[in-house]
Amino acid sequence: MSKVSIIIPTRNRWDLLIERAIDSVLRQSHKKWQLIIVDDGSDEDRSDEVKKIDKRIKVYRIEKKYDYPKGNLKAEWLAGPVHALNEALEHVDGDWIARLDDDDIWYPDCLENLLEFAEAGEFDFVSALWQDVNGIVGMPYDISKLYTGRVAQRGGYLGGVQTWLYKAEYKHIKYNPMCWRKSWNANNELDWFERFLRENPRIGFLPKVLCAVIPRPGETEIGSKAYVKETEYVG
């Protein structure tokens, strides 16, 4: 059975992390995993409490670094979790890597479905669909429209980052702290994926809803809208 290393960056959201992300990982039908949580300089240290939840959970703390102007919410959205993600990649020891945000919820069969799909299709990277609190399914990215030349010939789609699963042999591909300065694909996830494609991986898309993305307490929006006006978002 393949082992999955799950990476979660977090900052000042301990309760949400426990109630949503960690709870959904514990409920997975696929049980062979390690959960790597990197606290990006939270004001309060609750790492010992979190580690006691399950022996498969590891928590690491780093000092918050700003490669963008403090207070720039657009840049925070685009590049905020980069250093925490890169630290998490240093601790991966599984066969596969899965990405999850601290405020998102996997459905219980998420890992099982992604793994079965990836292994059956001999893919290096797979993703799937997510839905919001109203049951509306988020639209995947059309890879053939995002990229040109050789890559465009792949076709297919890219699902939400909450459903990304890829082989651990690609853990050397790190996130870019300066992605926010790009004129396009400035989001840390799309910047990573663009560079990942240079490795010529086999990519698969599973058209199944495996994750819920809902507003954080006290908010009504998700994604970039929770940080900045949609018209200011570059991604």
- Could you report how far apart the first and last alpha carbons of the chain are, in Å? 36
What pLDDT sits at residue 143? 82
Strands 96-99 and 4-10: parallel
Picking from 187, 131, 174, 124, the residue whose alpha carbon sits closest to that of residue 154 is 124
Mean pLDDT score of the chain: 89
Domain boundaries, the chain: 4-232
Chain segment 127-182, per-residue pLDDT in tens: 999 999 888 898 888 887 655 444 444 458 999 999 999 999 999 999 999 999 99
Nearest one of 121, 97, 113 to 171, comparing CA atoms: 97
d(CA 187, CA 189): 5
Mean pLDDT calculated for residue range 25-44: 98
The predicted model scores a pTM of: 0.89
Residue 77: the pLDDT is 85
CATH architecture of the domain covering 4-232: Alpha-Beta Complex (3.90)
Q: Which of 42-51, 119-128, 162-171, 208-217 has the lowest mean pLDDT?
A: 208-217
